[in-house]
């Protein structure tokens, strides 16, 4: 009997879908928020705020023995973080010129 370790692709796409959904929710909240600092943190810090929803997903996969799916969640989170950091690096370079 083979143990189901999940699928890295499945974990990646579930995490990516959650990122898209929560970015939409955050954008909606930001649209109605009065405090500009909260808006900036939520929208500009998506690389860090995604920890709020990806950590429980990763823990769920890990505890259920689906280690490959858990790896997919980490890959999706890492890609989102790196893309966000790259975009802000470009914006910082352009703003300083």
**Is 43 a residue whose pLDDT tops 70?**
no
Tell me the whole-structure pTM to 2 decimals. 0.81
Euclidean distance between CA atoms 86 and 45, whole angstroms: 12
Burial class (CB in 10 A: 0-12, 13-18, 19+), 74: middle
Residue-wise pLDDT for 14-30, tens only, equals: 999 998 888 788 777 77
* Nearest in space to 43 (alpha carbons), one of 86, 84, 89: 84
């Amino acid at each position: 009997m083979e143990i189901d370790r999940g699928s890295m692709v499945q974990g990646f796409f579930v995490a990516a879908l959650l990122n898209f959904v929560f970015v939409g929710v955050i954008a909606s909240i930001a649209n109605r928020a009065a405090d500009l600092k909260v808006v900036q943190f939520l929208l500009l810090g998506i690389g860090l705020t995604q920890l709020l929803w990806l950590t429980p997903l990763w823990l769920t996969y890990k505890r259920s023995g689906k280690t490959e799916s858990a790896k997919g969640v980490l890959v999706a989170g890492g890609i989102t973080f790196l893309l966000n950091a790259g975009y802000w690096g470009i914006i910082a370079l352009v703003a300083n010129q």
